[in-house]
């Protein structure tokens, strides 16, 4: 662990504010971050003061005035170098993700790879920020639209993807000509400091030291302040529905824009003709991966009653084989939960199962003899669709299994929750698969066939409906959220005809 921190320039006490240079560590109150692997303190961070906040916004606003004039393909060159710098540091950064957040190393490395992938995507995008042209109804007139940079983009991120989510936003925003102010989760500030050190060097080398700035806090206060601050035309916030409701309301009050990526309550539907081999593998990764702490984690399994027993038995067997332990070790498939609060939420959910008419089939308790009290057993619950627990997102590896008699019932159960992030169906019947994908099927932002709910690629637009917030990040045309659209009409004739044939005067 120490070597990883050293490689990334993490000190015992770190500045948490970057405005193009790092603030003094003497300013601000200090927070401490520890590893869920063994509870050991990793480092201390001086949080951002009110003055730090103002300095960061001023530096980012100044930088924006220059950056927006820099041609988009050249902005792409800078982002390409950032992708290369992340490649050079992939191993150490992936290790830091594992050490600070607790996901297993292949997932930590995968997360950094996601940041590299989105940088590559953004480089190509820097030459493809296309607007449409339209045929004007007026002679000798040309109509078109163009996309302009927006300004400072405030990026508030969650603990569970402490590198990738910032990158989804920052790489796209940067090629769009925006500057990015990051407020990371107070649970994973070291990942943010390490990333800012790496990308800050590249940006400085090109003469834009305040392109990617950083503010850290010990709670929601800085994020709340950003949400209310008109100097952020866009706030992109990733986290719980509770947080999103607050940010959405505050930003809307000042008629700003928000891009919200919030909680999920994702379901996999298994029909009677499903390939059960695929089902078990996909559900295991979806429900147990990242110890159930992905926004796309599979939380509900909706199974046709004719195969319910078979699927349940195979899953119990598979769950027994999951090696739980130190996420840095290659044999481990599941690491710890991120903190005591997460363990408490897990225990509270488990305690409610019986009272709500469910039955624990596997797990439901802490791992005995583990290196810290944060290791929990992945848990399978025999459930019924009416249970309140099924409507909530408990950020832990608990999978509720529900039996149904038809695809219609399955879709109704799946859609019967407030969240609408990711969904999947397993079937060999093309008609049923298409039924699930149709307008009358899944109501989620992501709907898959014969693959699980988690592990999205960056090429698609990522996000969800309903209480998940409606935002879209990463690929496809998500970039449009980071720019402002301008419609232009040019009259190259010598008359002044009015639209709709109106005669005036």
Burial of 286 by CB count in 10 Å (0-12 exposed, 13-18 middle, 19+ buried)?
buried
Residue of 82, 171, 295, 425 interacting with ligand NAD (CB under 6 A): 295
Strands, DSSP E only, in 114-249?
133-134, 141-149, 152-156, 179-183, 212-214, 234-238
393 interacts with ligand NAD by CB under 6 A: yes
Going from the C-alpha of 436 to that of each of 150, 263, 433, the distances in angstroms are: 37, 22, 5
Mention every residue, 6+ apart, whose C-beta is less than 8 A from residue 472.
259, 445, 461, 462, 463, 478, 481
497 interacts with ligand NAD by CB under 6 A: no
Selected range binding ligand NAD among 153-161, 190-198, 266-274, 449-457, rule: CB under 6 A: 153-161
Annotated active-site residue 295? The verdict is yes
Give the chain's end-to-end CA distance (angstroms, integer). Answer: 78
Annotated active-site residue 261? The verdict is yes
Options 81, 107, 261, 392, the catalytic residue = 261
Residue of 14, 35, 160, 213 interacting with ligand NAD (CB under 6 A): 160
Options 63, 191, 295, 444, the catalytic residue = 295
292 interacts with ligand NAD by CB under 6 A: no
33 interacts with ligand NAD by CB under 6 A: no
Closer to ligand NAD at the Cβ: 165 or 361? 165
* Minimal distance, residue 351 CB to ligand NAD, in Å: 21
* Minimal distance, residue 159 CB to ligand NAD, in Å: 4
224 interacts with ligand NAD by CB under 6 A: yes
**Residues 466 to 495: which contact ligand NAD by CB under 6 A?**
468
Residue of 246, 332, 347, 415 interacting with ligand NAD (CB under 6 A): 246
* Minimal distance, residue 48 CB to ligand NAD, in Å: 12
Burial of 491 by CB count in 10 Å (0-12 exposed, 13-18 middle, 19+ buried)?
middle
271 interacts with ligand NAD by CB under 6 A: no
289 interacts with ligand NAD by CB under 6 A: no
Residue of 262, 270, 404, 417 interacting with ligand NAD (CB under 6 A): 262
**Residues 177 to 216: which contact ligand NAD by CB under 6 A?**
183, 185-186
Do 453 and 298 meet the contact criterion of CB atoms below 8 Å apart?
Answer: yes
346 interacts with ligand NAD by CB under 6 A: no
| Pairing status of strand 422-426 against strand 266-270 | parallel
339 interacts with ligand NAD by CB under 6 A: no
Selected range binding ligand NAD among 74-82, 157-165, 270-278, 488-496, rule: CB under 6 A: 157-165
Residue of 67, 285, 395, 400 interacting with ligand NAD (CB under 6 A): 395
Residue of 239, 336, 378, 452 interacting with ligand NAD (CB under 6 A): 239
101 interacts with ligand NAD by CB under 6 A: no
Residue of 18, 64, 67, 161 interacting with ligand NAD (CB under 6 A): 161
Cα 403 to Cα 499: distance, rounded to the nearest angstrom: 60
* Minimal distance, residue 340 CB to ligand NAD, in Å: 13
Going from the C-alpha of 192 to that of each of 58, 100, 156, 185, 188, the distances in angstroms are: 20, 11, 11, 9, 7
Residue of 14, 98, 157, 394 interacting with ligand NAD (CB under 6 A): 157
Q: Which two tokens stand for residue 160?
A: 């569970």
* Minimal distance, residue 38 CB to ligand NAD, in Å: 21
- Name the residue among 302, 264, 269 with its Cα closest to residue 392: 264
- Name the residue among 191, 214, 176, 192 with its Cα closest to residue 73: 176
- For 332-429, where are the alpha helices, taking DSSP H only? 340-353, 407-415
Cα 341 to Cα 376: distance, rounded to the nearest angstrom: 13
* Minimal distance, residue 391 CB to ligand NAD, in Å: 14
Do 137 and 497 meet the contact criterion of CB atoms below 8 Å apart?
Answer: no
Mention every residue, 6+ apart, whose C-beta is less than 8 A from residue 500.
none
Going from the C-alpha of 297 to that of each of 209, 374, 393, 400, 481, the distances in angstroms are: 37, 19, 10, 12, 26
Helix (H, G, I), strand (E, B) or coil at 198: helix
Q: Which two tokens stand for residue 484?
A: 């402002």
394 interacts with ligand NAD by CB under 6 A: no
Total residues contacting ligand NAD by CB under 6 A comes to: 30
455 interacts with ligand NAD by CB under 6 A: no
Within 10 angstroms of residue 504's Cβ, the number of other Cβ atoms is: 5
**Residues 413 to 432: which contact ligand NAD by CB under 6 A?**
421
Chain contacts with ligand NAD (rule: CB under 6 A): 156-161, 165, 183, 185-186, 220, 223-224, 227, 238-240, 243, 246-247, 261-264, 295, 393, 395, 421, 464, 468
Residues annotated catalytic, as ranges: 261, 295
């Amino acid at each position: 662990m120490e070597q990883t921190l050293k490689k990334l320039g993490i000190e015992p006490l770190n500045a948490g504010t970057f405005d193009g240079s790092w603030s003094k560590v003497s300013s601000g109150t200090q927070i401490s971050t520890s590893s869920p692997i063994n509870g050991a303190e990793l480092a201390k961070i001086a949080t951002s003061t009110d003055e730090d906040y103002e300095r960061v916004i001023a530096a980012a606003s100044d930088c924006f005035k220059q950056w927006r004039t820099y041609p988009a393909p050249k902005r792409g060159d800078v982002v390409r170098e950032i992708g290369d710098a992340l490649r050079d540091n992939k191993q150490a950064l992936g290790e830091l993700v594992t050490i600070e957040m607790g996901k297993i190393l292949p997932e930590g490395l995968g997360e950094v790879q996601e940041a590299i992938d989105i940088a590559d995507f953004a480089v190509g995008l820097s030459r493809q920020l296309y607007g449409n042209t339209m045929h004007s109804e007026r002679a000798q007139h040309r109509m078109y639209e163009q996309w302009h940079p927006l300004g400072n983009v405030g990026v508030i991120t969650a603990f569970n993807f402490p590198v990738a989510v910032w990158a989804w936003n920052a790489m796209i925003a940067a090629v769009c000509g925006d500057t990015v102010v990051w407020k990371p989760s107070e649970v994973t500030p070291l990942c943010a400091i390490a990333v800012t050190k790496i990308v800050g060097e590249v940006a400085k080398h090109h003469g834009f030291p305040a392109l990617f700035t950083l503010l850290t806090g010990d709670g929601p206060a800085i994020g709340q302040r950003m949400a209310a601050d008109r100097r952020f035309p866009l706030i992109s916030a990733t986290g719980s529905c509770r947080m999103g409701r607050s940010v959405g309301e505050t930003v809307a009050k000042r008629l700003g824009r928000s891009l919200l990526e919030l909680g999920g309550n994702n379901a996999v539907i298994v029909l009677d003709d499903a390939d059960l081999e695929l089902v078990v593998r996909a559900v295991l990764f979806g429900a147990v991966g990242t110890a159930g702490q992905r926004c796309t984690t599979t939380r509900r399994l909706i199974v046709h009653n004719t195969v319910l027993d078979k699927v349940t038995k195979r899953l119990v067997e598979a769950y027994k084989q999951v090696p739980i332990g130190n996420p840095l070790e290659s044999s481990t498939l599941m690491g710890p939960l991120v903190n005591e609060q997460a363990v408490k939420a897990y225990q509270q959910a488990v305690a409610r199962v019986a009272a709500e008419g469910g039955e624990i089939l596997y797990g439901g308790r802490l791992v005995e003899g583990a290196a810290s009290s944060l290791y929990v057993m992945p848990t399978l619950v025999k459930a019924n669709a009416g249970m309140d627990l099924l409507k909530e997102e408990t950020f832990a590896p608990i999978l509720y299994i529900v039996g149904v008699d038809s695809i219609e019932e399955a879709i109704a159960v799946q859609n019967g929750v407030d969240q609408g992030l990711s969904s999947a169906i397993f079937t060999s019947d093309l008609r049923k698969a298409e039924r699930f994908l149709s307008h009358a099927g899944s109501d989620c932002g992501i709907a898959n066939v014969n693959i699980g709910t988690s592990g999205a690629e960056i090429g698609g637009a990522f996000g969800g409906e309903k209480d998940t917030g409606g935002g879209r990040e990463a690929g496809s045309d998500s970039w449009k959220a980071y720019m402002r659209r301008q419609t232009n009409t040019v009259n190259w004739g010598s008359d002044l005809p009015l639209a709709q044939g109106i005669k005036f005067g």
